[in-house]
Amino acid sequence: MSTTELRSDTPAPGAVADVDWWRGAAIYQVYPRSFADQNGDGTGDLAGVRARLPYLRDLGIDAIWFTPWYPSPMADGGYDVADYRSIDPLFGDLAEAERLISEALEFGIRTIIDVVPNHVSDQHAWFRAALVAGPDSPERERFWFRDGRGEHGELPPNGWESEFGGQAWSRVIGADGVPEQWYLHLFAPGQPDLNWGHPDVLREHEEILRFWFDRGVCGIRIDSAALVAKDADLPEVADEHHPGNHPYVDRDELQGIYRSWRVIAESYGPERVLIGEIWLPDAERFARYLRPDVLHSAFNFDFMASPWDATALRASIEQTLDVHAKVGAPATWVLSNHDVTRPVTRYGRVDTSFSFDAKRFGTPTDLALGTRRARAAALLAMALPGAYYLYQGEELGLPEVEDLPLHLIDDPMHARSGGVDPGRDGCRIPLPWSGNRPPYGFSPNGHRGETWLPQPADWAAFTAQAQAMDAASMLSLYRDALRLRRDLPALGSGSLSWRDLGPDVLAFARDDGFVSVTNFSGGPVDLPAFDRIWLTSAPLEGGRLPADASAWLEST
């Protein structure tokens, strides 16, 4: 592919020429390590994704978001990037990524990549140079190196805590074996935080954006987008901070950083978009990132983390639509990603909400109930106004794998919690594609080696092949729903009006008489008058919508 073919003003082919595509898109998250393995090493790769593009087209998605695919020591599953201008050899090479981007476009599928501005890998050239150059060097100014407190500098510079548990500082041991300065890492020690007050950091990221926009990517997912800027005085975190003035969360100067990114995205045309990973409890502060000259879009984690409860979900939906409308941005709806417990597992528990702090081994789960609710949740979320993000395996209804042998758990969240938190590997298991036993078509036929994380012995019924032939499967539900999202102009971006069917039912109309109904009550409920049923998540019972089910209706 010649990179100029896909540049800026070149119209994208066919169905993807729409500049507002992202406002109502269905975007599928690929975790490359676990999607499909073409070369037989037990780890997914880009050739595996290329081979499965027909599957993704048939699923009915508009774009793929790839979690980081760059060279990385994998201290945090690739979120420790060593070099943004290349592809990890585990996954392929740059030429293969270029082929994948252009082949996907031929299938009408755009590509979104992940950029991780908060930190790089400790193997990144900048950090290695900083270690060699020593204290007070210009190389160290791109990071947060500080002397320790205490008589011998033996205490970290402040008490900030890592998002993964433990302290957010590690001490450098010099070549002579003598401990010297400390460096900041809000995540794992292999992920040193960058200093966004440094002009090199800003310039480098602008070049990274251009590098990938030049190669035809249509969007950038911005990792940990609200944590990137720091108060250079590195003050302690207090109980309360004025909005915008926390030492490292949601600082006001982030708006200027992302405005400069927006200018670059716009220079490539209105269809190139910036999507923030923004976890903030304050919806108004969240929406500031979505003003017309800042980011285009951000993940709606409030909805994702809400319990399976009509009142809580309605409150989340109303607040979401309200704050997005004020800034003219489309809402997004998310049920899962590579960081959170799989929905069929989450919704099968006594506590159906999600929080990182609450994750524990051995939480009792009713998977049949959780699956029923996850089906209903998918139709609810896909009927709401805005974009829908789905994470690989969600369409197969995969459960969280909770019995991985402890020594195989790779996610740093597990070890840094002292082994209390199971970590996130349970939602990152290699996908089951076909067949009756591991590797279920994930690796090539005849492959006998282990996949990088082991797959359960009882996943034969979850394979894409088995589900494709079963009209009642999760895959069939997702295919039908995503196809209707494409076919019915009422779905995707737009607005909704609530219909009152009682406190335990969420019902709303979109344009053209499209109505979505979700039943949270313990028993069946009557549906409103309808002309036709587009889709239900469970069979009706005597013409009524059963508990924990959704229906899509035409009702004029």
Residues that bind ligand GLC (CB under 6 A): 76, 79, 116, 187, 223-224, 277, 338-339
Least gap, CB of 165 to ligand GLC (angstroms): 12
Smallest distance from ligand GLC to CB 45, Å? 19
The distance of closest approach from Cβ of residue 24 to ligand GLC in the complex, given in angstroms and rounded to an integer, is 24
User: Closest separation between CB of residue 511 and ligand GLC, Å?
Assistant: 34
Does 223 qualify as catalytic in the annotation?
A: yes
CB of residue 509 vs ligand GLC: minimum separation in angstroms?
35
Length of the chain in terms of residues written: 556
Q: Which is nearer to ligand GLC, 334 or 383 (CB)?
A: 334
Active site residue: 45, 114, 223, 400, which one? Answer: 223
Place of tokens 């950029």: 115
Can you say how many angstroms the Cα of residue 209 is from the centroid of all Cα atoms in its chain? Answer: 19
- Strand pairing category for 532-536 and 549-554: antiparallel
106 a catalytic residue: no
Q: Which residue of this chain has its Cβ atom nearest to ligand GLC in the complex?
A: 79
Question: Could you tell me where the DSSP H helices lie in 60-164?
Answer: 94-106, 125-133
Query: Rounded to whole angstroms, how far apart are CA atoms 49 and 35?
Result: 7
Catalytic residue among 88, 277, 339, 394: 277
* Residue 108 vs residues 17, 54, 101, 172, 414: alpha-carbon distances, Å: 9, 11, 11, 48, 39
Q: What is the nearest approach in angstroms of ligand GLC to the Cβ of residue 79?
A: 3
Comparing CB distances to ligand GLC, the nearer of 37 and 339 is 339
Q: How many C-beta atoms lie closer than 10 Å to residue 280's C-beta?
A: 20
The least distance separating ligand GLC from the CB of residue 161, rounded to whole angstroms, comes to 14
The smaller minimum CB distance to ligand GLC, of residues 26 and 334, is found at 334
Q: Residue for token digits 């492959």?
A: 447
Minimum CB distance to ligand GLC, residue 73 (Å): 13
Handedness of CA 144, 149, 154, 155 (dihedral sign): negative
Q: Which is nearer to ligand GLC, 102 or 336 (CB)?
A: 336
| C-alpha distances in Å from residue 219, one per residue of 101, 110, 270, 349, 500 | 12, 8, 11, 35, 38
Q: Phi, psi at residue 137, to the nearest 5°?
A: -85, 155
Q: Among residues 224 and 320, whose Cβ is nearest to ligand GLC? A: 224
The CA-based diameter of the chain, rounded to the nearest angstrom, is 79
Which of 223, 302 has the CB closer to ligand GLC?
223
Strands 514-519 and 63-66: what pairing? unpaired
Number of other residues whose CB lies within 10 A of the CB of residue 479: 17
Q: How far is the CB of 163 from ligand GLC (least distance, A)?
A: 7
Q: Which residue is it, tokens 């992940």?
A: 114
How many CA atoms lie less than 13 Å away from 238 in the CB half-sphere?
A: 7
Contacts of 358 (CB under 8 A, 6+ apart): 351
CB nearer to ligand GLC: give 249 or 484.
249
Tell me how far apart the alpha carbons of residues 228 and 167 are, in angstroms, rounded to a whole number: 18
User: Residue 65 or residue 520: which is nearer to ligand GLC going by CB?
Assistant: 65
Alpha helices in 268-309 (DSSP H): 283-288, 301-305
Going by the DSSP 8-state scheme, the letter that residue 173 receives in this structure is: E
Neighbour count for residue 524 (Cβ, 10 Å) = 16
Structure tokens at 225: 């987008």
Considering beta carbons, is residue 115 or 464 the nearer one to ligand GLC?
Answer: 115
In this structure, are residues 122 and 190 in contact, taking their beta carbons and an 8 Å threshold?
A: yes
How many whole angstroms from its chain centre is CA 198? 28
- Residue 514 β-bridge partners: 554
Q: What are the catalytic residues?
A: 223, 277
